[in-house]
Structure 1
Amino acid sequence: MTVKAGVIGATGYAGAELVRILAGHPQAELAAISSVSFEGKPLSSVYPAYYGLCDMLCGTEAEVLQKSDVVFAALPHGLSQEIAKECHDAGKVFIDLGADFRLKRLNEYEDWYKVKAVYPELHEEAVYGLPELFREEIRGKKLIANPGCYTTAVPLALVPALKAGLIEKDGIIADCKSGVTGAGRKSTQDTHYPELNEGMHAYKVGGHRHTPEIEQTLRRICGEEVTIVFTPHLLPVNRGILATCYAHLKPGTTLEQLQKVYEDFYQDEYFVRVLPDGMKADIHNVRYSNFCEIELHTDPRTNMLIAVSAIDNMVKGAAGQAVQNMNLALGLEETAGLKMFPPAF
């Protein structure tokens, strides 16, 4: 079985990463790519590292839809709904790396993103593509909302303890750091090198759009409302998410108990590595890979869980997870095209 895959928005960071991963997929053929800014130009003229490896010309959205069985959209929010409708009507698999289908409560989507939900029935049909938590819902589906980076790293760090009833649902804090690729390819003052280098700052404090998405995942796991404090920070590095999550422990919960719960929960998950005591979750050790590392600590003085997760925001937090979802949707081996090791140094 060879899957014809197309990428809309191929010259953005997530789109280019999709091309890189799909090129190494044993059962996928890159059928078409599109870019509004670079239409008619080869992808390798935008990313010289791809010269001689992917010189495909950037075409139009229509060409991608025509030539592809699976369509990936790596676009800003608000731009995927019409594409999703076209794919739905044509019976194609559509995987959205943007936020248009992630939130099930349409009022939350419209409030946080200031965009109208044009096709409520598609929002209802869409499944949330975090495989380690919702794998069975993803299998065989044709409209998949691919989670972002923070919304992958934080739930993976917290869900085992939450599901086991070892932490309180109130007072959860997610303190997260991101590499600058998470801000997208278009430069701003905050992502301009002289502004970013040798600095670090919080952004969108108390109002980041990923907040309701993280809460939605935690709510689905425990069946009750969960409210978190989520604060992202920008690191002067290209790649990576480091999520340090704090939660109040239930009385009597020990680190040994937590370690076993996490190891049991993720024992069959190829892409999640629960680290033993003494090893550190580090963005350096997950670069260019689809892995998530998790380390666990308790603070007996404050009776808090401190769970730290690390992912590559462009792979497990974007393109790699999207390919993982494609594999599940089409009945392929889930790890196909994704077994690349992180570089050692």
Structure 2
Amino acid sequence: MFKVGIVGANGYTGGELIRLLHKHPEATIHALASRSQAGRPAWELFPTLHGTALGQATILDLNDPRLSECDLVFLAVPHGVAAEMTPGFLAAGVKVIDLGADFRFKDPALYEAWYKIPHPAPELLAEAVYGLPEINRAAIRGARLVGNPGCYPTAILLGVAPLLVHDLLASPLIIADGKSGVSGAGRSPRPDLHFAEVTGDFRAYGLPNHRHIPEVEVYAGQIGKKEVKVSFTPHLVPIPRGILMTLHLAGKTGATTESLTRVFQDFYAEEPMVAVLPETDLPHTKAVLGSNRCQISVRVDERTGQIIVLSALDNLVKGAAGQAIQNMNILFALPETTGLTDLGLWP
């Protein structure tokens, strides 16, 4: 058994890490920490823990030495905070998986341009590994610092990767239309996320310069070995969790729904966390609720030549905590599915 810590254990992503890790056969939760909730028992933050041994665990301060006793820490904290903490953990021999944005880019100038602060630890960017296993597994193995992808970029990159690898697009423009549940905005209270304002509503936000755009452009460009541009419109839908992504792409002449479905099925044939649906089915958020799986389907509009790719995932699992555990499994040479085999919840 190896020991893990969760910093930012009070948020939705931290809570999802707790839910998934508490029954992991090889990892034990050694430390839970939060800057704002230190001193409280864990069950007060997550009522599902009431009556369990883990629920009685005291939330630690971020400087508690028990965090440095861990073999790995998950950082589910705001951008800037993770990069300030990471050098100390690495110096203590603790591996780090950052679920925020601090270690997703190699270029500190790109980070500063989109996140509006200088990078606190630019000397670590060269060794940080982007943690999307389906495209970067070899680099993740043996790493000590992983930047977990964003939820929207995961849905986009998994949806477009087979087309980029096989050079099946006639244009470098990815038009992405994303819908996300409210938990994607985090747990901190905001007036525009109150129940009375969200329920019965459906709205776009963060356009045209959402912070996930450069992440997709960088890694889609690396996958396809050519420059890619992204036009992304995110939407907030009144559900707790889940992402449905619709990609509109210019296809090359001759592509059909049948031929591209085969391309996707072959590309993801050995990927246990990606399910390519048959031509008769379409992804939807409830089909992946609570699971670490991404559902994908592809259609060709032969009248317009457009390729339409749809992907669905749980933003808190494959879009965050589950993918981080998938990366942890790789780092410790475990089967990637360890602790992640539960099916989604239905209904």
Q: Could you say which TM-score interval applies, normalised by the shorter chain?
A: over 0.9
2: CA distance between counterparts of 1:67 and 1:306? Answer: 48
Residue equivalent to 1:231: 233
Match of 1:219 among 209, 218, 221: 221
Match of 1:293 among 292, 295, 302: 295
In the TM superposition, what are the counterparts of 1:306-345 in structure 2 within 5 Å? 306-345=308-347
Whether the 8 Å contact between 1:293 and 1:309 is mirrored in structure 2 is yes
Residue equivalent to 1:4: 3
* Count of matched residue positions in the alignment of Structure 1 and Structure 2: 344
Residue equivalent to 1:149: 151
> One-letter code of the match for 1:198?
G
> How far 1:65 moved relative to its partner?
2.3
> One-letter code of the match for 1:19?
I
2: CA distance between counterparts of 1:140 and 1:131? Answer: 13
1: CA distance between counterparts of 2:260 and 2:9? Answer: 41
Residue equivalent to 2:189: 187
In the alignment, does 2:133 pair up with 1:131?
Answer: yes
> One-letter code of the match for 1:18?
L
> How far 1:344 moved relative to its partner?
2.5
1: CA distance between counterparts of 2:309 and 2:300? Answer: 8
In the alignment, does 2:175 pair up with 1:176?
Answer: no
* Amino-acid identity (%): 45
1: CA distance between counterparts of 2:346 and 2:121? Answer: 46
2: CA distance between counterparts of 1:197 and 1:44? Answer: 27
Residue equivalent to 1:65: 67
In the alignment, does 2:12 pair up with 1:13?
Answer: yes
1: CA distance between counterparts of 2:32 and 2:207? Answer: 35
1: CA distance between counterparts of 2:331 and 2:140? Answer: 6
> How far 1:115 moved relative to its partner?
1.6
> How far 1:5 moved relative to its partner?
0.4
Whether the 8 Å contact between 2:68 and 2:94 is mirrored in structure 1 is no
> One-letter code of the match for 2:61?
T
Whether the 8 Å contact between 2:176 and 2:232 is mirrored in structure 1 is yes
Whether the 8 Å contact between 2:68 and 2:92 is mirrored in structure 1 is no
> How far 1:119 moved relative to its partner?
2.3
Residue equivalent to 1:22: 21
In the alignment, does 2:208 pair up with 1:209?
Answer: no
Residue equivalent to 2:80: 78
> How far 1:167 moved relative to its partner?
1.2
> How far 1:262 moved relative to its partner?
0.3
Q: Which runs of 5+ in 2 are unaligned?
A: none
In the TM superposition, what are the counterparts of 1:227-266 in structure 2 within 5 Å? 227-266=229-268
Give TM-score, length-normalised by structure 2: 0.97
Residue equivalent to 1:49: 48
Q: CA 1:91/1:168 → structure 2, altered by over 3 Å: closer, same or farther? A: farther
> One-letter code of the match for 1:261?
V
> How far 1:178 moved relative to its partner?
0.3
1: CA distance between counterparts of 2:331 and 2:27? Answer: 13
62-71 or 244-253: which moved more? 62-71
1: CA distance between counterparts of 2:281 and 2:303? Answer: 22
1: CA distance between counterparts of 2:238 and 2:299? Answer: 26
2: CA distance between counterparts of 1:35 and 1:162? Answer: 40
> How far 1:67 moved relative to its partner?
2.7
Whether the 8 Å contact between 1:281 and 1:308 is mirrored in structure 2 is yes
> One-letter code of the match for 2:337?
T
Residue equivalent to 2:113: 111
CA RMSD of aligned residues (A): 1.0
2: CA distance between counterparts of 1:122 and 1:159? Answer: 27
Give TM-score, length-normalised by structure 1: 0.98
59-68 or 108-117: which moved more? 59-68
In the TM superposition, what are the counterparts of 1:265-304 in structure 2 within 5 Å? 265-304=267-306
> One-letter code of the match for 1:236?
P
SS at match of 2:63: helix
2: CA distance between counterparts of 1:182 and 1:118? Answer: 25
